[in-house]
Amino acid sequence: MSEPRLEPYLRAAGHDARRARALYGWNARLASAFLHDLAHLEVGLRNAFDRALCDAVLDGDDYWTDRRTLRQLFPVQARPDRHTGGIRDANAIARRRVAEATARARPADGSTVLPGKIIAELPFGFWALMPTDRLERGVWRPYLHRVYGPGTHRDDVRDALDALRRFRNRVAHHECIMQGAETQRRRLVGQVRRLSEEAARDLAARSEVARLLRERP
């Protein structure tokens, strides 16, 4: 390990090198356990959103990922670009993600792409950004709000999923996640429970995150 990588563990361990190394190993195990639970959420989220979006399919299309329906869900939306000062299409990335997922899912023999393969190829970030403000009228109100119980606020779902998306990126890049881990655990469990009480019970039975948090060196 490099000194900068070990530094947060040394600080947390009061500069006790042995305990710092123990914390480093514990952090790696905790990250692995979180990835398991985040995968649980991701699969549940994409399945629920996918089912809801199937009601959007236009006549002539077979699935919501088909071109015409996709354009209706994610129309060209001109927004100022704060980085360039110009105008950008705020939904271009979402449409591109579906096009890229479709290309990856296409069988080598050129046969029909199965919708389930496309859905599985879409990244967590695609689903986590679905409750954003710009998609409220075209995606959230007519379709995705049905995934959740009465009284669920889109802003709450948006904020929680975005926080978990950013946390997932930190975990995947092997960063130190000691600070705020319990908050992220509760956030994750809460989002799974919003999707399904059955899924929440299954997660509770399989997750090792809570135990690892108790066993911090």
Amino acid found at 55: D
Tens-digit pLDDT profile for residues 77-114: 887 777 777 888 899 999 999 999 999 999 999 888 99
- Report if pTM > 0.75: yes
Confidence class for position 216, pLDDT limits 50, 70, 90: very high
Tens-digit pLDDT profile for residues 157-207: 999 999 999 999 999 999 999 999 999 999 999 999 999 999 999 999 999
- Give the angle subtended at the CA of 29 by the CAs of 165 and 195, to the nearest 5°: 40
* CB contact at 8 A, 178 and 23: yes
The torsion of the CA quartet 102, 105, 106, 107, rounded to 10 degrees, works out to -170
- Strand segments, DSSP code E, in 81-165 are 87-89
